[in-house]
Amino acid sequence: MYNKFAFCTSFGPTGWEKYAKKFAETWKEFLPWASLSMYYHDCTLPEDAPKAPNIRYVNLVETCPEITEWKLKNQTMNGHGQNGYNYRRDAVKFSHKVFALAQRGRELGNERHLPFLVWIDADCYAKAVVDPTEFANIFRGEPDVVYLGRNGTYAETSFLAFNLYTEAGRNLLNDLLEAYLSGEVFCWSEWHDGFIFSRLLTIARWKDLRETNLTPNVAGAGSDAFNTSIVGKWFTHLKGPVAKGEGGKQPIRILPKDCVDHSVIHENIKW
């Protein structure tokens, strides 16, 4: 039953010591049943990478040469501009995730083994034993895609799953890759995977996509959909640059509040 899930993630040259090492160590401890592919790029495999039967390490550049060509062609699309760095327009950074997902999907298709392809960002770590039966309940009904939604903004894609058994699931994954390969990503106001995935999801709904949103009541940009979802029972997402660089501390969350009563605001709108 549990070989229906194939997990993957990726990390770069600075990510191993900051978070990916802990990701691999805790995966080995808490998810011995779950097959994981860790794609690394622009670095060599660390010598202290944990060895486990269910963990494989894959050089993304070697196994997916198209990413090198794409990065060379779009190397200036890296979020740096006259006003400093803007992660929302760093297509190069987020392309590793998209290419790794697509590559793993291709591998599974070639092997004629089409499970749910599940992505978890490497800046997460397991904190409790993951019961495979309970985890499988997330996917009841065999949806085409499972994700963490945030009302009024783009989805939190630190956890994401595509059903490779279904045409709709495969098409959504292929569309995500094609958005980057074709350059369509640069036609949007933001170039990261969360924004692009959410736009493609909206389009796919017109084609009767079957979706499972694990966080239907989470609202607003910056909302912590991951840690408040069912996935947060087993994993912690080191959300934000402070958390990534300082041993798991969470950034301060600011909840804005209107300075006048709602009734006054509504009357002003009417006026």
| Amino acid residing at 102 | A
Q: Which pLDDT score is estimated for 114? A: 78
More confident residue, 53 or 222: 53
- Indicate the pLDDT class of residue 51, thresholds 50, 70 and 90: very high
H-run or E-run covering 126: strand 124-126
Q: Which pLDDT score is estimated for 229? A: 95
Q: What is the pLDDT of residues 154-185, one digit of tens each?
A: 999 999 999 999 999 999 999 999 999 999 99
First vs last Cα of the chain: how many Å apart? 61
* Average pLDDT of every residue of the chain: 89
Q: Which pLDDT score is estimated for 253? A: 41
Neighbours of 224 (CB within 10 A): 20
Asked if residue 256 has pLDDT above 70, the reply is no
Assign residue 224 a region: left if phi > 0, alpha if psi is -120 to 50, beta otherwise? Answer: beta
Lowest-confidence pick of 9-13, 96-100, 219-223 = 219-223
Nearest CA to 216 out of 169, 156, 170, 171 is that of: 156
